[in-house]
Amino acid sequence: MFQHLLWYVTTEPTPQGYLERECGPEFSPCALYVPREKEVPSTGNVVSLSLLINYLEEEVTHKDLRARAEAFKAGSDEVGLLRGHGLQGQEALDTYISELVARIRDFPYDKLQGGKEAGAWVRDDVVAPRFRGLWSFYTNKKLQCHDVDLAALEHLLCGENMLLDSLRYVQHATQL
């Protein structure tokens, strides 16, 4: 069997196949085979991880998250620190976290320099695990076990080896 295949592949000229015999030379393997050029992502579609990092840093700064978290830890009035979208307290914080997670999930990870594999790695191995135990990243749902407070959110985003630190490290190490 393999000898017949070897004969077919190495014979010059290549013997006619069924389609070529029945339909003509436009159905020969050489006529049907059109090599595609190697797909190279255009530079216009590539995004940098710094886009996500900058967004998160601006959110932390704009929401004055560190000062609010410190005030929360010191026992300040929680309702005064948590307001937005016509909501107060835990409802306002949960709504904000849900919007933040939605934006992080919607980041075009597949358009990072390394392509879909690198993007999936960043999303699944760097970003998503930081939310474990506090928020369901993939379903963007609050976990029922406990409420996320300001201190937990600030730690999740700004804590040592947490989301921003991890993203900065990945960007530095991989040039994404």
Q: Which residues contact 127 (CB under 8 A, 6 or more apart)?
A: 104, 137, 163, 166, 167
pLDDT of residue 81: 62
Mean pLDDT, residues 29-36 taken together: 61
Q: Which residues contact 42 (CB under 8 A, 6 or more apart)?
A: none
16 and 28 Cβ atoms separated by less than 8 Å: yes
Query: How many Å apart are CA 78 and CA 60, to the nearest integer?
Result: 18
pLDDT of residue 154: 93
Alpha helices in the chain (DSSP H): 2-10, 18-23, 29-32, 49-62, 65-73, 78-81, 90-105, 115-121, 150-158, 163-174
Residue 137 has pLDDT above 60, yes or no: yes
Which pTM was predicted?
0.70
Residue 69 has pLDDT above 50, yes or no: yes
- Give the residue, 77 or 102, on which the prediction is more confident: 102
Distances (CA, A) of 70 to 119, 140, 152, 169: 34, 26, 11, 26
pLDDT of residue 43: 52
Residue 30 has pLDDT above 90, yes or no: no
Amino acid at 26: E
Three-class DSSP category at 138 = coil
The 8 Å CB, 24+ separation contacts for 96-104 are: 96/63, 97/135, 97/142, 97/148, 97/153, 98/140, 98/142, 100/59, 101/131, 101/135, 101/137, 101/140, 102/140, 103/55, 104/52, 104/56, 104/137
Name the band, by pLDDT with cuts 50, 70 and 90, for residue 40. very low
Query: How many Å apart are CA 105 and CA 127, to the nearest integer?
Result: 9
